[in-house]
Amino acid sequence: MPKSVTLLIGVHAHQPVGNFPEVMEDAHQRCYKPFLETVYQYPEFRFALHSSGWLLEWLMTHKPEDMALLRKMAERGQVEFFGAGDMEPVLAVIPYRDRMSQLAAMSDRLEQYFLQRPQGAWLTERVWEATVVPALADSGIRYVMVDDYHFLCSGSPRETLNGYHTTEEDGRRLDLFPISEALRYRLPFAPAHEAVAYIESLADDTGHSAAIYFDDIEKFGIWPETYHWVYEKHWLKDFIEGVLASRVIQSAHFHDYHREAPSRGVVYLPTVSYSEMGEWTLPAAAARRYAELVHAAQHEGVLERDRPFIRGGIWKNFLTRYPEANWAHKRMLGLSARLAALPEALLRQDLVELLHEAQANDAYWHGLFGGIYLPHLRRAVWHAMLQLERRLDALQTRPASASGDLDLDGIDEVFMSSLALQAVLRPDKDAALIELSSYPLAQNFGDTLKRYEEHYHHKAASGQAREHDGEGIASAHDVVRFKHEIKPEDLTPDSRSRGLFVESWTDYESKRPVEYSSSVVQGGAALCMGQAGETRVAKIYTVKDNKLSVALKAVGQGRLSSRLNLAIPCCDGPAGRYVVNGGIPGGFGQSFTWTDLKELALEDHYLGGAIHLASNLPARVKVQPHMTVSQSEAGFEKIMQAVELTFTWEVEGPTEIQVDLEVVPLKAG
């Protein structure tokens, strides 16, 4: 037989649930629209497409003309649609029942829009665990995409990775296509003729050799420099024409190749994602050590051979790295269990859809893009959870107070709730609130993020940008850029909680934290007993209607401070402002200090709500934005996570302080 190679190419389109409209519009103009318009011109060019359900719904609603093009390509057999979890969850971290409903929702959506029920599925972030096989197979999925790196980690020879393999779990079969890392780094970054020549080099005379590519469509226009490169300099056009003109490359669909070519044999893969994820998911110190091992192997010239065995962490490590992600994840699992326990007569589709949105992956982790560092992504998850919880409470009431170790950290959290408000206390040494949720506003004001040490901060600390040299363009993985000026103090990790009501005591000797040693719940109130040196402090939390009351009792001579971090949706945008003594001094992105203050308000006109704070004793109040530093495709950036307020009272002998925090809607106009 003459030499040939089958090109199996697919793209994955995704935008996080809750992303900004202007970001969606920009992504469409720079990527989705020109990509579809380009491939439409070449009916013989076969490709696969996966779009997350939320993005697909947005495109159907806002860009019907481009979706009409996609329908035409579906009708003429040019595009194969891939399924997945509808709202792009990591399947490995949700229950089997939710995997099934997410997969069914996506398949139903594709069948409704394009008259195709998918045979293949995209795995979010290519996170592989064997536990996902039964749900995929039970949902009618016959094959999924993973990286060739997954196979190499199991010891598979690289020369066998030009076709699909077969695995099984609990009696179910699933076939696995290995995505070529070499192609991932060439498309679209290498010149088009070089990419085509590389694909041609994979041809053999077996008739079954495949060049397999499936990666983010956003690399074709949204990543830095790619719009100019892919469309204005015609990279995509030149690549497609090169493929179609080739005498050895055959453009085909995955389902055709899967039907006609035999499996390369059985394989069992370890729990793994793509290689970069192994570094991202590690704590900073471990990630540095991992990078040292990679660099040492590179220096010795054995990296290509040994990298599958220099493996980092797994995706679930993000839930240990970021307690904020773990808390959201365990709250989501709790709501999933409540929903599953509903009598069938009470089950409604809107409840299932809210749970699916709460399982969207983006807000639970962080890599090259902002992820958990982006407040609007976390807010979208909490917004869905709180709407779901409110509706579940209307169907089946729950106690006003409860306790239990929901997040598996060895400490029983205390839940205090009304119809309007829920406060969750973590009774550790800070005895702070880790959640303060308003049900009418569907907003968790405790949804902030600590300042963590990240393994990439050493690049930011150097303050030196690094660009790309050579032909083609650089991957965002390889370039160092800065969106904001980063100072050393911006990179200092937090030593204490970023929750609400974290106390410190200052006397003539020093400033020290108030450390709480015991907490009890009595009559719906939570009482916490603490001490700072010889000074004793008691703290009592109560919730009634839309008001949280916090009583502080101190015995000593000095100053007692309490710090609150409040997650406000507009952050440092123009819709948020302080109201003090009837005036508006400024917005949440500014810093202020007021003395002898007993009341202030924080108004968020984007949210349509306000927080009123009142103290029975006058206090010195300092406010400032809480910022973190993270990386994204565009470079290092500072992001406002919360409004940080610190109340300080003078204490002389026994003193009783009460702070009332009330969440109210803003009046229209």
φ/ψ of residue 115, rounded to 5: 60, 30
Q: What is the CATH number of the domain that holds 214?
A: 3.20.110.20
The answer to whether position 516 is within a domain reads yes
CA 125 to chain centroid, in Å, comes to 11
Q: Which band of pLDDT confidence, cut at 50, 70 and 90, is reported for residue 484?
A: low
Helix, strand, or coil (residue 612): strand
| Final residue belonging to a domain, choices 250, 273, 296 | 273
Q: What is the CATH number of the domain that holds 582?
A: 2.70.98.10
Q: Which band of pLDDT confidence, cut at 50, 70 and 90, is reported for residue 205?
A: very high
The answer to whether position 369 is within a domain reads no
pLDDT tens digit sequence for 48-78: 999 999 999 999 999 999 999 999 999 999 9
Write down the pTM of the prediction: 0.94
pLDDT above 70 (res 634) = no
Domain count, the chain: 2
Q: Between these two residues, 669 and 234, which has the higher pLDDT value?
A: 234
| Final residue belonging to a domain, choices 214, 248, 273 | 273
Q: How far lies 68's CA from each of 36, 56, 62, 65, 72, in Å?
A: 10, 13, 12, 5, 6
Instruction: Please name which of 583, 573, 595 lies closest in space to residue 643, comparing C-alpha atoms.
Output: 573
The token duo for 135 is 């749900």
The helix (run of H) or strand (run of E) holding residue 565 is strand 547-566
The token duo for 93 is 């971290």
The answer to whether position 575 is within a domain reads yes
DSSP classification of residue 585: -
pLDDT above 60 (res 483) = no
pLDDT tens digit sequence for 5-36: 999 999 999 999 989 999 999 999 999 999 99
Q: How far lies 476's CA from each of 50, 178, 189, 225, 430, in Å?
A: 22, 23, 10, 10, 40
What proportion of the chain, given as a percentage, has pLDDT over 70?
Answer: 96
The answer to whether position 341 is within a domain reads no
Q: Which band of pLDDT confidence, cut at 50, 70 and 90, is reported for residue 470?
A: low
Helix, strand, or coil (residue 505): strand
Q: Give the E-state strand segments of 107-181 in sequence order.
A: 120-121, 143-147, 165-169, 172-179
Q: How far lies 100's CA from each of 49, 97, 124, 340, in Å?
A: 21, 5, 15, 13
Helix, strand, or coil (residue 103): helix
pLDDT tens digit sequence for 251-265: 999 999 999 999 999
pLDDT tens digit sequence for 83-131: 999 999 999 999 999 999 999 999 999 999 999 999 999 999 999 999 9
φ/ψ of residue 222, rounded to 5: -100, -35
The answer to whether position 318 is within a domain reads no
Active site residues: 125, 216
pLDDT above 70 (res 349) = yes
Q: Long-range CB contacts (< 8 A, 24+ apart) of 518-524?
A: 519/414, 519/425, 519/427, 519/431, 521/401, 521/403, 521/414, 524/400, 524/401, 524/416
The answer to whether position 366 is within a domain reads no
Name the residue range of residue 65's domain: 6-273
pLDDT of residue 486: 74
CA 530 to chain centroid, in Å, comes to 36
| Final residue belonging to a domain, choices 244, 273, 302 | 273
The answer to whether position 380 is within a domain reads no
The answer to whether position 592 is within a domain reads yes
φ/ψ of residue 611, rounded to 5: -115, 125
